[in-house]
Amino acid sequence: MIRGMKSGLLAAVSLAFAGCAATGGEPKAASDKPATTASADQPARFSKDPYPSTYKGYPSRLTVVKNVTIFDGEGGRIDNGTIILSSGKILSIGGADVAVPTDADVYDGTGKYLTPGVIDIHSHLGVYPSPSVEGLSDGNEATSPVTPEVWAEHSVWPQDPGFTRALANGGVTTLEILPGSANLMGGRSVVLKNVPARTVQGMKFPGAPYGLKMACGENPKRVYGAKGRMPSTRMGNMAVDRQTWAKAVAYKKKLDEGKAVDRDLAMETLAGVLAGEIRVQNHCYRADEMAQVIDMSHEFGYKIAAFHHAVEAYKIADLLKKEDICVAMWADWWGFKMEAYDSVPENIALVYKAGACTIVHSDDANQIQRLNQEAAKALAAGRRMGMEISDEQAWTWLGINPAKAIGLADKIGSLKPGKMADVVLWNGNPFSVYTRPEKVWIDGALMFDANDPKRRPVTDFELGQPGEGDVK
Amino acid sequence: MIRTLLLSAAALVALPAAAQDIAIINAKLVIGDGSAPIEGGTVIVRGGKVVAAGRGVAVPSSIESIDAQGHYVTPGIVAAFSRVGLVEVDAVAGSNDRSAARSRFSAGLDIAPALNPMGSPVAVNRAAGVTRAIVAPGASSNLFAGQGAVVDLADDMDMVTKPRALQFVAFGEAGAAKAGGSRAATFLLFREQLLAARSYARNPATLAEWGNDAMIQRADAEALVRVINGTTPLFVRVDRAADILNVLKLKGELPALKLVLVGATEGWLVAREIAAAKVPVIVSPLSDLPDSFERLGATQSNAGRLEAAGIDVSVGVFDDDDAHKMGYTTQYAGNLVGLSKLPGASGLSWDQAFAAITSAPARAVGMEGSIGSLKPGRAGDVVIWDHDPLELGSRPTAIWIDGKSQSLVTRQDRLRDRYRTPEEGALPKAYDR
């Protein structure tokens, strides 16, 4: 089972590399001429990265953690392990025999655990920040059922105190911020490093692919049905989606043929999906509905990177495995609407058992602080029904699998030499309720230390407010 | 043959009929009153009630003895503030009796007849070790939400332990919105309605005299009279420190008032005043985000700091999914134990944390003499766990409510078993039962 999963993973990683190499970061339809010389009868050369990341890792020190239990994020475990972080990268990882440099900051991890930084593939921090007031509510462009032209990064408020809580309590080092699920096509996601910055660009994960948030099911039909417009049913959802994809296919054909097109931001996003450059992150609960959406992806020729929420994934775990679609789930949310009625606490474990790419996500500003605990509950539920899943295997749900689903498995999600040094040192087994992050490094820089009040970020919003600088 | 089948089906439904007399021996016994677990403990339940619990308790030979094999044996969890029984699916209006926002009544609303003991949230939460819950109504059209109840989560049709066990009112932002838009309106509306109720109590004819100008209906007035004279505890949802102080002042005007603070997110900022007023607090302990301007001081250390100030603290699951996730109660309590190890933070000891989800909520609602601990005379609500009940993934292996053995099987278990392998077999899944 594990072997199968790992080989699937490697295939996906090489596919991601291939995608990058083929496009070279430039649109396929671009002419060779720069934008300044584009004329009306020639396609313009649009930048695909007009809001570029300005994130740079903070200064890091040569760092060693030894005598520590390591979950490597790909299913491996090292007892009495050693890790060396250097210049923002993982330099080496191994057992007690790893040579420790003399000029390093050395931490004794006896009784503690070390994991890759937690990745939350489904967060609305920044677009639905704290305080949750109308003036800051920027997560749903709920004025049209299809808005692939909006970009979450244009809504994110970098001062959201939720980011700092996710870091300090949850060891979250990377988040995918999605638009909300009011719309069938809600817009582009943005992947952030969980490092405070003055600008969103200062948090943007360098080189991360974009995602397209899609939603099926009850939300779009409720939101637009209530406005007396299409879609008001599930068949309406599918019809609007299909009509939009048909338009996108035609748009992309024009681009591919080098024909002139008026700039259409919505179609640019969808063409990017059809070209395999933008990854579909699809909110979808019910098994039957996921199957419909899979057929739709075949009809129009795009790939679904992951289903999110996927409460009924256990009913079609074989299909999801066959389609190589990742599945992001809660441990035990249920009952808040009909499509969440058939939730079972074993969902995550059953999907894992089927060999599909299994992810624990939050979709919640509070639960993002305890994704390790959500994974622990799912793991316990699986074990209760007789599945043999080790702790280190379960950490793939927070490690390499979300990294794969957002297209960053080559950079984060596991502790391998050369990868970004996004690392959490936990003060006990991270699957225990009594455990908290002790230290969190991002790109090798110590960004949180439970023992050092100076390594505890306080957002602008919290300055001068009750409880400023509190442990929280 | 068919007759036998029918009979056994009927027998299944009616299975947990009578209370058993039981002795659970060899337990890691948790009384629930804040004392430390007792190794090698015994608890004896007779006639549905605890008659003895501790070490060296003699077991009468006449009753069934169950060996816990050193596992944790505890009182059932008391969900301190919930909507279990009122909601099946939140987004399905017909199955959601949480609120009565368009009713012409408010304080007089009584949730008891709205409770559904057969709802799947009852079974799911029971299987997580919750045996009792304090259930409050959500908002009505007026400031007062109505009268909540204390319920049991047993597998039978009688869910109500104590009806009209509390009156619920929200101050702060929610109360201001109900009252007309500001906190000033909340306090005025609160006082005016209580004064009207008092006038009604002195002379019921006044209500008729007020006619259409009456602030409240007769049923509301009767419910509020019970609040004024302290018969019904008043559970007040309030978060901001300044609002808490104003709520505490109400005791000065209405000395018989039995206040319970719910939420009290900024309670730690005014812990001294809450302690002096001897008002218990039910917290949502992991709320640590400044998610509104009345919760800027939110911190997970709230519970620990309140406890340290001498306040009676209960741990609840609300501001969350308060109809379905009572099972989070133990997880939340466990987090407070973990927090106690964090430099600069305040948490609870394990013993305190367990009391905060058993005897403390029972005390808040004035029922410490009948539920929430394994002291003699309390209801025979007993749970055997597979390991540390505050730890993630720990589950009950046996539950008794009022001494009656309970089913641990839920609808979710049935779904899980059907899809243990997702592929269909010789017949569709619908034939797989």
Q: What integer pLDDT is reported at residue A106 of this predicted model?
A: 98
Q: Is A165 within 8 Å of B287 when comparing Cβ atoms?
A: no
Nearest residue in B to A317, CA atom = B422
CA distance B345 to chain A (A): 6
Q: What integer pLDDT is reported at residue B7 of this predicted model?
A: 37
Looking at B29-33, B59-63, B105-109, B208-212, which range is the least confident one?
A: B208-212
Question: Are B24 and B155 part of one and the same domain?
Answer: no
pLDDT tens track for B297-351:
999 999 999 999 999 999 999 877 889 999 999 999 999 999 999 999 999 999 9
Q: Could you give the CA distance from residue A108 to residue B115 in angstroms, rounded to a whole number?
A: 54
Whether B102 is covered by a domain: the verdict is yes
Structure tokens at A84: 């060396």
Out of B299, B320, B342, the one facing A450 most closely (by C-beta) is: B342
Question: Are B61 and B109 part of one and the same domain?
Answer: no
- DSSP 3-state assignment of B376? coil
Residue A421, Cβ neighbours under 10 Å: how many?
Answer: 26
Q: In sequence order, what DSSP letters do the residues of A200-226 get, joined into one string?
A: STTTBPTTPPPEEEEE-THHHHHHHHH
Mean pLDDT of A284-294: 98
Question: Are B113 and B32 part of one and the same domain?
Answer: no
Residues of A in contact with B325 (CB under 8 A): 332-333
Residue A154 pLDDT > 80, yes or no? yes
Question: Are B70 and B84 part of one and the same domain?
Answer: no
Question: Are B89 and B220 part of one and the same domain?
Answer: yes
Q: Could you give the CA distance from residue A445 to residue A448 in angstroms, rounded to a whole number?
A: 9
Question: Are B338 and B395 part of one and the same domain?
Answer: no
CA distance B203 to chain A (A): 45
Residue A174 pLDDT > 50, yes or no? yes
Query: Tokens 């490094």 appear where?
Result: A441
SS in 3 state form for A299-332? Answer: HHCCCEEEEEECCCHHHHHHHHHHCCCEEEECCC
Q: What integer pLDDT is reported at residue B210 of this predicted model?
A: 84
Q: Is B416 within 8 Å of A466 when comparing Cβ atoms?
A: no
Mean pLDDT of B130-139: 97
Mean pLDDT of B186-197: 95
- What pLDDT band is residue B433 in, cutting at 50, 70 and 90? confident
Q: In chain B, pLDDT over 90 holds for what percent of residues?
A: 91
- What pLDDT band is residue A41 in, cutting at 50, 70 and 90? very low
Q: What integer pLDDT is reported at residue A17 of this predicted model?
A: 32
Enumerate the β-bridge partners of residue A439: A425, A449
Residue A5 pLDDT > 50, yes or no? no
Whether B170 is covered by a domain: the verdict is yes
Q: In sequence order, what DSSP letters do the residues of A403-419 get, joined into one string?
A: HHHTT-TTTSSS--TTS
CB A466 within 8 A of CB B267: no
For chain B, the average pLDDT equals: 94
CB A182 within 8 A of CB A229: no
Question: Are B249 and B304 part of one and the same domain?
Answer: yes
Question: Are B55 and B105 part of one and the same domain?
Answer: no
Work out how many CB contacts closer than 8 A connect A with B.
166
Q: Could you give the CA distance from residue A69 to residue B114 in angstroms, rounded to a whole number?
A: 51
Q: Is A337 within 8 Å of B299 when comparing Cβ atoms?
A: no
Whether B433 is covered by a domain: the verdict is no
Please name which of B306, B312, B332, B316 lies closest in space to residue B392, comparing C-alpha atoms.
B332
Stronger pLDDT, A373 or A20, i.e. the higher one: A373
- What pLDDT band is residue B212 in, cutting at 50, 70 and 90? confident
Q: Is A185 on the interface with B (CB under 8 A)?
A: no
Q: What integer pLDDT is reported at residue A35 of this predicted model?
A: 43
What ipTM does the predicted assembly reach? Answer: 0.94
Whether B220 is covered by a domain: the verdict is yes
The answer for residues whose C-beta is within 8 angstroms of residue A337's C-beta and 6 or more apart is A218, B89, B90, B91, B92
Q: For residue B125, what is the domain's CATH number?
A: 3.20.20.140
Distances (CA, A) of A302 to A18, A267, A271, A278, A294: 16, 14, 10, 10, 9
Mean pLDDT of A332-344: 97
Residue A99 pLDDT > 80, yes or no? yes
Distances (CA, A) of B369 to A1, A114, B19, B74, B350: 54, 47, 20, 17, 23
Query: Tokens 């199968």 appear where?
Result: A4
Q: Is A381 on the interface with B (CB under 8 A)?
A: yes
Whether B29 is covered by a domain: the verdict is yes
Q: Is 0.95 topped by the overall pTM?
A: no
Mean pLDDT of B128-137: 98
Q: What integer pLDDT is reported at residue B199 of this predicted model?
A: 93
For residue B261, give the H/E element and its range: strand B259-263
Residues of B in contact with A465 (CB under 8 A): 290, 296-297
Residue A15 pLDDT > 50, yes or no? no
Question: Are B99 and B169 part of one and the same domain?
Answer: yes
Structure tokens at A132: 């949750």
Please name which of B186, B110, B170, B189 lies closest in space to residue B146, comparing C-alpha atoms.
B110
Residue B87, Cβ neighbours under 10 Å: how many?
Answer: 26
- What total of structural domains would you count in chain B? 2
pLDDT tens track for A271-288:
999 999 999 999 999 999
Q: What integer pLDDT is reported at residue A32 of this predicted model?
A: 41
* DSSP code at position B58: P
Residues of B in contact with A472 (CB under 8 A): 288, 298-301
Out of A318, A343, A461, the one facing B423 most closely (by C-beta) is: A318
Question: Are B183 and B294 part of one and the same domain?
Answer: yes
pLDDT tens track for A59-91:
999 999 999 999 999 999 999 999 999 999 999
CB A237 within 8 A of CB A222: no
The CA angle B53-B58-B64, to the nearest 5 degrees, is 85
Structure tokens at A154: 């244009």
Q: What integer pLDDT is reported at residue A12 of this predicted model?
A: 35
Out of B89, B287, B391, the one facing A432 most closely (by C-beta) is: B391
Q: Could you give the CA distance from residue B250 to residue B243 in angstroms, rounded to a whole number?
A: 11
Looking at A311-320, B5-14, B263-272, which range is the least confident one?
A: B5-14
Whether B425 is covered by a domain: the verdict is no
Q: Is A343 on the interface with B (CB under 8 A)?
A: yes
Q: Is A360 on the interface with B (CB under 8 A)?
A: no
Whether B55 is covered by a domain: the verdict is yes
Q: Is B298 within 8 Å of A467 when comparing Cβ atoms?
A: yes
CB B68 within 8 A of CB B384: yes
SS in 3 state form for B21-41? Answer: CEEEEEEEECCCCCCCCEEEE
Please name which of B270, B268, B247 lies closest in space to residue B259, comparing C-alpha atoms.
B247
Q: Is B415 on the interface with A (CB under 8 A)?
A: yes
Residue A6 pLDDT > 60, yes or no? no
Q: What integer pLDDT is reported at residue A45 of this predicted model?
A: 62
B 271-290 residues with CB below 8 A of A?
286-290
Question: Are B96 and B55 part of one and the same domain?
Answer: no
A 264-323 residues with CB below 8 A of B?
314-319
**B300-331 burial by CB neighbour count: b if 16+ within 10 A, else e?**
bbbbbbbbbbebbbbbbbbbbbbbbbbbbbbb
The CA angle A459-A194-A391, to the nearest 5 degrees, is 125
Q: Is A466 within 8 Å of B269 when comparing Cβ atoms?
A: yes
pLDDT tens track for A379-429:
999 999 999 999 999 999 999 999 999 999 999 999 999 999 999 999 999
Domain carrying residue B121: 77-371
Q: What integer pLDDT is reported at residue B17 of this predicted model?
A: 53
The answer for residues whose C-beta is within 8 angstroms of residue B141's C-beta and 6 or more apart is B100, B101, B102, B103, B104, B106
Mean pLDDT of A325-329: 98
Whether B167 is covered by a domain: the verdict is yes
Residues of B in contact with A467 (CB under 8 A): 269, 290, 296-299
For residue B45, give the H/E element and its range: strand B38-46
Q: Is A345 on the interface with B (CB under 8 A)?
A: yes
Amino acid, single-letter form, for residue B9? A
Looking at A284-298, A390-404, B202-216, which range is the least confident one?
A: B202-216
Q: Is B293 within 8 Å of A131 when comparing Cβ atoms?
A: yes
Question: Are B70 and B155 part of one and the same domain?
Answer: no
Q: Could you give the CA distance from residue A369 to residue B300 in angstroms, rounded to a whole number?
A: 12
Q: For residue B57, what is the domain's CATH number?
A: 2.30.40.10
